[in-house]
């Protein structure tokens, strides 16, 4: 779905997390960044994905990988989600879809015979210099940390 490719410079962003802190791409220079875009807080698939990443955070951090979740939910909803599931990573509240569209993960979807616009579950692995190293489009919500580790 996205037009971005491996080897492209990752689009910059400036988005607040569940605590109101602003995050930008340059904040993560020198780290490998796993930005995962997901449809909605508190839904079964998104919860499974977030909890899998939470449960493997130590392994990811040992590999210098910082995880960031992004959806169109607001800060308040992200805060409830992060608190309920004890998520240790930032959840960016891209309510105006600027970052979501810059990464090309917004588009037509189908669910139960209905078509609508929404976020396509996609993860971008960005290297220490801001270059896209991998794009995971077929996300396995219950095994997502392993998918991230496998592409590196």
- 2 in any annotated domain: no
Residue 79 lies in a domain: yes
Report yes or no on 62 lying in a domain: yes
User: What are the pLDDT digits (tens) for 64-121?
Assistant: 999 999 999 999 999 999 999 999 999 999 999 999 999 999 999 887 888 989 999 9
CATH number at residue 66: 3.40.30.10
Catalytic residue among 46, 60, 67, 100: 46
The contacts of residue 87 (CB under 8 Å, 6+ apart) are 50, 53, 54, 69, 81
In this structure, the dihedral spanned by the alpha carbons of residues 91, 94, 100 and 103, taken in order and rounded to 10 degrees, is -70
The yes-or-no answer on residue 51 being catalytic is: no
Q: What is the pLDDT of residues 22-62, one digit of tens each?
A: 999 999 999 999 999 999 999 999 999 999 999 999 999 99
| 130 DSSP assignment | S
The total number of structural domains in the chain stands at 1
C-alpha 140/C-alpha 34 separation (Å) is 15
Q: Domain range holding 35?
A: 14-151
- Is 20 domain-assigned? yes
pTM comes to 0.95
Whether 7 is in a domain gets the answer no
């Amino acid at each position: 779905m996205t037009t971005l490719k491996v080897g492209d410079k990752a689009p910059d962003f400036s988005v607040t997390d569940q605590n109101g802190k602003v995050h930008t791409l340059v904040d993560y220079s020198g780290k490998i960044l796993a930005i995962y875009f997901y449809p909605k807080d508190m839904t079964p698939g998104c919860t499974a994905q977030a909890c899998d990443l939470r449960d493997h955070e130590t392994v990811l951090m040992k590999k210098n990988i910082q995880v960031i979740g992004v959806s169109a939910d607001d800060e308040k909803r992200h805060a409830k989600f992060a608190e309920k599931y004890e998520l240790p990573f930032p959840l960016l509240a891209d309510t105006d879809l600027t970052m979501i569209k810059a990464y090309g993960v917004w588009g037509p979807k189908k669910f139960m015979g209905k078509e609508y616009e929404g976020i396509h579950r996609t993860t971008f692995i960005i290297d220490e210099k801001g270059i896209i190293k991998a794009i995971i489009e077929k996300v396995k919500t219950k095994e997502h940390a392993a998918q991230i580790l496998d592409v590196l």
